[in-house]
Structure 1
Amino acid sequence: MGLLDDKVTIVTGAGRGIGAAAARLFAREGALLVLAARSAPEVEALATELTATGAEAVAVAADLTTAAGAERTVAAALEAFGRLDAAFDNAGNGAVPVPLAERSEAEWDDAHALNLRGSWLCLRAQLRVMAAAGRGGAVVLNSGVGALVGGFGDGAQQAAKHGLTGLVKAATADYARYGIRVNAVAPGVVRTPGTEPFFAAGPEFGALVERSTPLGRAGADVEVAEAAAWLLSDRASYVAGVTLPVDGGIAATRRFD
Structure 2
Amino acid sequence: MSMTFSGQVALVTGAANGIGRATAQAFAAEGLKVVVSDVDAAGGEGTVQLIRDAGGDATFIRCNVTVDAEVKALVEGTVAAYGRLDYAFNNAGIEIEKGKLAEGSEAEFDAIMGVNVKGVWLCMKYQIPQMLAQGSAGAIVNTASVAGLGAAPKMSIYAASKHAVIGLTKSAAVEYAKKKIRVNAVCPAVIDTDMFRRAYEADPKKGEFAAAMHPVGRIGKVEEIAGAVLYLCSDAAGFTTGHSLAVDGGATAI
Aligned to 2:153: 152
Distance 2:73 2:92 in 1: 15
1:73 and 2:74 correspond: yes
Superposition deviation, residue 2 in structure 1: 6.2
Distance 1:40 1:191 in 2: 22
Which residue identity is paired with 2:204?
Answer: P
Identity of aligned residues (%): 37
Matched-pair contact (CA < 8 Å) for 1:10–1:34: yes
Which residue identity is paired with 1:245?
Answer: A
Q: Which moved more, 1:121-130 or 1:209-218?
A: 209-218
Which residue identity is paired with 1:34?
Answer: V
Matched positions, count = 253
SS in 2 for 1:46: helix
Superposition deviation, residue 50 in structure 1: 1.3
Superposed structure 1 runs of 4+ greater than 4 Å apart? none
1:238 and 2:239 correspond: yes
TM-score, structure 2 normalization: 0.96
Unmatched 5+ stretches in structure 1: none
Aligned to 1:141: 142
* CA deviations over 1:12-58 (Å, ceiling 9, x no partner): 00101111111111111111100000122221222123123221111
Superposition deviation, residue 198 in structure 1: 2.8
Distance 2:121 2:90 in 1: 9
Matched-pair contact (CA < 8 Å) for 1:4–1:232: no
* CA deviations over 1:73-125 (Å, ceiling 9, x no partner): 21121111111100010100112431011111110111100001101100111
CA RMSD of aligned residues (A): 1.3
Distance 1:59 1:242 in 2: 29
Aligned to 1:89: 90
Aligned to 1:111: 112
Matched-pair contact (CA < 8 Å) for 1:97–1:152: no
Which residue identity is paired with 1:58?
Answer: T
Distance 2:118 2:253 in 1: 28
Matched-pair contact (CA < 8 Å) for 1:3–1:230: no
1:205 and 2:206 correspond: yes
Which residue identity is paired with 1:90?
Answer: N
Which residue identity is paired with 2:60?
Answer: A
Matched-pair contact (CA < 8 Å) for 1:112–1:160: yes
Which residue identity is paired with 2:243?
Answer: V
Matched-pair contact (CA < 8 Å) for 1:2–1:30: no
Which residue identity is paired with 2:75?
Answer: V
Aligned to 2:41: 40
Distance 2:207 2:22 in 1: 22
SS in 2 for 1:241: coil
1:99 and 2:100 correspond: yes
Aligned to 2:126: 125
SS in 2 for 1:214: coil
Aligned to 1:194: 195
Unmatched 5+ stretches in structure 2: none
TM-score, structure 1 normalization: 0.95
Matched-pair contact (CA < 8 Å) for 1:199–1:205: yes
Superposition deviation, residue 64 in structure 1: 0.9
Distance 1:47 1:125 in 2: 23
Distance 2:82 2:152 in 1: 42
